Chain A
Amino acid sequence: MKQNKLYDTIFLAPGFIVYILFMIVPVVMCFYYSFTNWDGISTTFRMIGLKNFVTLFRDASFFQVLKVTVIIMVVTSVIYNVLGIILAALLNDKGKLSSISRSAIFIPTVMSAVVVAFIWSYMVQTNGGVINSIILALGGSAIDFYKTPLTTIFVISGIICWNSIGFFVVIYLSTLSTIPQELYEAAKVDGAGWFHRFRHITLPLLAPGITINCILAVAGGLKQYDHVKVITGGGPGGATQTVTLFSVEKAFEYNRRGYSSAAVIVLFIIIVILTVIQLSISKRHEVEY
């Protein structure tokens, strides 16, 4: 066992070298760039202090971008969790119908965002889209899903949810399976109706699942890029741009890497703050049984 140190190094080095080079170093570089005026091309650039952040918070378009990002995050998180719990409760049995539906709901989760966005941009087209064809056939009038930036953002959020709600449902299903059946039977004996049982047994005991799902939904919602890129490209006129789209555009099309890094850092700080808040809330609400 004398050779421990040597073998430890052999085992640890490859992974940690890659991790440090392509995770830790870039994070540090991102912070560093956010204080510089680097354009991504020239070899010389200088520190400009907090100037990027000041410009960012004076930039009306950045507030628009933040607003879009937050709306997508809130809408998707609510749907993921509310509808996720409802679906899990509906599908939590051994019946054939439930098992087929579970598979169906999960299929989009394995599909790429790009593909899903293409399918749905056909579904919601104003002229010749499937949804509008059905509405017209039923005698209604066509809906313009892209009428305002806000409706467009809602539609995109819905598409994002269609894409990945399966994941959240699976987490809720597996959390549901940890709840002892005796609790429900005892409650039934005491005469509790289904809503009481849901409110006082299911919901509190789902807390661990809710914590994970909320953290994942919030962090995921704030990082959106793929669907928006395919469906609107951030347009019209940047009205549906998310923070990620904004930073990619600033970095690669306008060559303002320093400025772009500052936007990324703001996003990162928001994610960290929201995660910490959620963790501390969930600590207070988890129950022992």
Chain B
Amino acid sequence: MKKASVGLLVKNVLVLVFALIYLAPLYIAAVNSIKPYDEVIKAPLQLPVKATLQNFADAFQSSNMLALYQNSILITGLSVVLLIIITSMAAYIIARRTGKLYQALYIFSLAGIMIPPIVTLIPSIKTLSALHLLYTMPGLLLFYGGTYFSTTIFIYVGYIKTIPKSIDESAYMDGANPITTFFRIIFPLVKPCTATAVIFLGMWIWNDFLNPMYILGFSGGKTITTGIYNAIGTYTSKWNLVFANVLLASLPIIIAYLFMQKIFMKGLTSGAVKG
């Protein structure tokens, strides 16, 4: 009995230490974002003496935060919607049809999983420029469409296969065409899958850095990540402003995560463990 309780104590201490390693930097970022500059320098660990929201006001202005939010929300939202529509439709046909051709098509559609994004970035810039879409948001959306097609179709095909064929067949009996059958009957049934896709894609695209930097360039607008990267570059030593930027950039996604933790975890594991 004694041995077990010592073990438990050691275990709890370890868990606590790890939790601290994870929470301490977040605490530092949060607490220093509401301090005046001299307090950050003098007492970085303490709670603020004179709490202020001035840093946020400054960050909001100097980084043009509203525009950054608007761009990031639009890019993430539209890319996710685009990807979900085009891949779930393609996945439906691949999951339902039998035969060598469709099997080959599925393998072909998965090939992109292995490709590091840097492979496609440089040539895509040429393609986008030929299409007159370089430095534009639609260009970036299409790039994401190609980049994440494989992962998304992989999530959908496996799941659609578990839905009994008799469901769509009875819809066809009633005279529905494939388009209504898919959007009215199948699409609502694959909601768990769509949730997984929204979480993965939303997280990746919201946090992406390299691709928006070169595809949007200077003229195509900045996202949260490229925007604060540029903003912080100009005042790296003013840590109070850096942390205000950091918080403004990550709070939306952290809040989303804390509210939807269960869906997040389920989405992550269902997507990955099947692989």
Binding site for B on A (CB under 8 A): 1, 3, 7-8, 10-12, 14-16, 18-27, 29-30, 33, 40, 87, 90-91, 97-98, 100-101, 103-108, 110-115, 118-120, 122-123, 128, 130, 133-134, 162, 167, 170-171, 173-175, 194, 208-209, 212, 216, 219, 222-223, 225-226, 229-230, 244, 247-248, 251-252, 257, 260-261, 264-265, 267-268, 271-272, 275
User: How many B residues face the partner with a CB closer than 8 A?
Assistant: 90
A107 to chain B, nearest CB (A): 6
6 inter-chain pairs at a CB distance below 8 angstroms, sorted by A residue, are: A26-B121, A30-B123, A107-B22, A122-B243, A130-B25, A271-B116
- Within 8 Å by CB of A261, from B23, B122, B145, lies B122
CA distance A123 to B246 in the complex (A): 14
Contact: A119 with B25, CB < 8 Å?
A: yes
- Within 8 Å by CB of A275, from B89, B114, B228, B245, lies B114
B201 to chain A, nearest CB (A): 13
Q: Is the interface of A mostly helix, strand, loop or mixed?
A: helix
A25-B127 contact in complex given A19-B150, A251-B122, A271-B114, C-beta closer than 8 Å: yes
Which B residues are CB-close (under 8 A) to A162?
21-22, 25
Which B residues are CB-close (under 8 A) to A119?
25-26, 28-29, 243, 246
CB nearest to B261 among chain A residues: A103
A171-B269 contact in complex given A26-B146, A130-B44, C-beta closer than 8 Å: yes
CB nearest to A169 among chain B residues: B18
A107-B115 contact in complex given A26-B123, A162-B21, A212-B272, C-beta closer than 8 Å: no
**A-B interface pairs (CB < 8 A), number:** 253
Contact: B119 with A27, CB < 8 Å?
A: yes
Binding site for A on B (CB under 8 A): 7, 11-12, 14-16, 18-19, 21-26, 28-29, 41, 44-45, 85-87, 89-90, 92-94, 97, 105, 109, 111-112, 114-124, 126-127, 142-143, 145-147, 149-150, 153, 172, 177-179, 182, 203, 206-210, 214, 224-225, 228-229, 232, 239, 242-243, 245-246, 249-250, 253-254, 256-258, 261, 264-265, 268-269, 272-273, 275
